[in-house]
Amino acid sequence: MKVLAAVKRVVDYNVRVRVRADGSGVDTANTRMAMNPFDETAIEEAVRLREAGTASEVVAVTVGDAGSEEVLRTALAFGADRALRVESDAPLEPLAVSKALAAVADREQPDLVLMGKQAIDDDSNQVGQMLACHLGWAQATFACAVTPADDELHVVREVDGGQRTVAVALPAVVTTELELNEPRYIKLPSIMKAKKQAIERLGLAEIAVDGSPRLELLGVSEPPPREAGEQVDSAAALVDRLKNEAQVI
């Protein structure tokens, strides 16, 4: 089995996001960036499949500018065999990203595509589903457990009422939850080795993908500050406030 693992570079989840003064977007100048946490579980699962002998090769792919190669180096340090970047200096919308990944999948011919269920910068939760549609493949989203079984995968999915196990025929696209695994701690020798590995690059024109935006960003603003909480003297007073002021009961 060949696995294609898609990863994205985002603002580190420990960093407080700042909005530009003109409201045109998020300020990323001098901001620590990192791999999207959901994608970390995807690359970890891909490497574990190879270590278990189920997968023969793991290829990491990202779509972005030169700075996004940082997360490909991280993926190589995790244990990916190869890395590939689809070049785009401007951020792409989910539809364009899914088309770019579909073109890479057509080129690489993987049996399985793993990626995080969503990226923490835009929370779109669209690319995996769109990719499966472009390829005409089976899909399993919100995976918190993946078990190979002959020519299919048994995937435990997070659903509203708990969990559901589905069988997915290969080839397939699987999007991952944080609960899927605990990403490994990367050791220094792996980081140094990853710095020397080659990264393949493809232009959008080479794979015939139009990156033109279809949406217009009107503005970005900070959320309004929350009002301070209040203490009440008794449970009866709390019920009264919830019923008569908040009107939630």
Looking at residue 125, what is its pLDDT? 93
Domain extent listing, the chain: 2-246
Given CATH 3.65.10.10, say whether it is the number of domain 2-246: no
Looking at residue 25, what is its pLDDT? 83
Mean pLDDT of 144-152: 91
List, in order, residues 6 or more apart from 23 with CB less than 8 Å away.
219, 220, 221
On whether the CB atoms of residues 207 and 97 are closer than 8 A, the answer is: no
User: pLDDT grade, residue 197 (50/70/90)?
Assistant: very high
- In the chain, the percentage of residues whose pLDDT exceeds 90 is 71
Report the C-alpha dihedral over residues 234, 239, 245, 246, rounded to 10 degrees: 120
Q: What is the C-alpha to C-alpha distance for residues 132 and 128, in angstroms, rounded to an integer?
A: 6
Q: What is the C-alpha to C-alpha distance for residues 235 and 87, in angstroms, rounded to an integer?
A: 59
For residue 216, pLDDT over 90 is answered with no
Instruction: Write the pLDDT tens digit of every residue in 35-53.
Output: 999 999 999 999 999 999 9
Looking at residue 192, what is its pLDDT? 93
Angle in degrees, CA 109, 65, 143, rounded to 5: 50
On whether the CB atoms of residues 169 and 135 are closer than 8 A, the answer is: no
Instruction: Write the pLDDT tens digit of every residue in 155-183.
Output: 999 888 889 999 999 999 999 999 999 99
Predicted model pTM = 0.85
Looking at residue 172, what is its pLDDT? 96
Query: Phi/psi zone of residue 79: left (φ > 0), alpha (ψ -120 to 50 degrees), beta?
Result: left
Looking at residue 167, what is its pLDDT? 94
Backbone angles phi, psi at 105, to 5 degrees: -65, -40
What are the b/e assignments for 80-91, b being 16+ CB within 10 Å? bbbbbbbbbeee
User: pLDDT grade, residue 113 (50/70/90)?
Assistant: very high
Q: What is the C-alpha to C-alpha distance for residues 115 and 176, in angstroms, rounded to an integer?
A: 6
Instruction: Write the pLDDT tens digit of every residue in 116-129.
Output: 999 998 899 999 99
Q: What is the C-alpha to C-alpha distance for residues 232 and 237, in angstroms, rounded to an integer?
A: 6
Q: What is the C-alpha to C-alpha distance for residues 98 and 234, in angstroms, rounded to an integer?
A: 54
